[in-house]
Amino acid sequence: MDRLSDLPKDILHRILYFLSQEDAVRTSVLSTSWRYIWCTRPNLDFSDINFKGNKQDFLSTVETTLQQYYDQGLSLEKFRLYLSLLGKDYSHHESMLLLDKWVPLLKVMRVKEFCLSILSDHTPGITDLSSVVFKAEALELLHLNRCSLGKNIPENIPFLRLQVLRLSNVLVENEVFEKLISSCPLLTTMSLDGRKMQHRNRHPDS
């Protein structure tokens, strides 16, 4: 008797939730009920560090997976993405355009936790984050690493559910930071690691 095949789908999803993306894919060989269950688990964790393939294959894998979730009308609790935009294997511009495309899909899937880390040799070494990241109303946790919040933050930030905010090596102006914080009425936990504050230079007579 195949006891693994008898487990409810919710239980299988819960088990896969604690596995890495690569290990989740490997479970497809366990039994018939596990064959495609990894394709619908409620969390996705992508890192190009240990990806078996070239950089373009990695981007294509993320693109295809997110589109499949979107097409199936699946919800997503957590999405983590680590991009190493170093050297000539990645086009910085292309990667940012893809991010602009992916985040709206995450918004539709009502992702609750979004973790984004970008290591780039693009001058000045910190990526300007697209404003679409700040339009995901369902977010409860947001973790950004090596990003610039510059002038891309929209006028209205719908972070009414955000409870945890973690900024690591983030470049942000004081006014933008204050605006972000004031848009999170349920914020209970905030972690600032290496945050770099910018002050706008104002004319003495202004």
Higher pLDDT: 164 or 77? It is 164
For the segment 78-107, the average pLDDT, to the nearest whole number, is 76
Model pLDDT, residue 141: 93
- CA 51 – CA 57 distance, rounded (Å): 9
Burial of 113 (0-12, 13-18, 19+ CB in 10 A): middle
Q: Which residue has the higher pLDDT, 19 or 199?
A: 19
Q: Please report which confidence band the pLDDT of residue 189 belongs to, taking 50, 70 and 90 as the band edges.
A: very high
For helices 92-108 and 55-71, what crossing angle results, to 10°? 20
DSSP state of 173: E
* 24-38, 82-96, 145-159, 162-176, range with the lowest pLDDT: 24-38
- Find the mean pLDDT for residues 129-146: 83
More confident residue, 50 or 159: 159
- The pLDDT, as a whole number, for residue 123 is 46
SS3 of 96-120? HHHHHHHHHHHHHCCCCEEEEEEEE
Q: What is the pLDDT, as a whole number, of residue 36?
A: 57
Instruction: Tell me: pLDDT of 185 over 50.
Output: yes
Q: In the chain, what are the domain boundaries?
A: 1-41, 42-198
For residue 164, the model assigns a pLDDT of 94
What local confidence, expressed as pLDDT, does residue 26 receive?
Answer: 66
Tokens of 60: 């294509």
Q: Out of 6-15, 57-66, 78-87, 174-183, which region has the weakest mean confidence (pLDDT)?
A: 6-15
Query: Cβ distance 92 to 132 under 8 Å?
Result: no
Tokens coding 158: 């719908």
Q: What integer is the mean pLDDT of 31-35? A: 60
Strand partners for 116: 81, 144
What is the average pLDDT across 157-180?
88
pTM, rounded to two decimals: 0.73
What is residue 184's predicted lDDT score, i.e. its pLDDT? 92
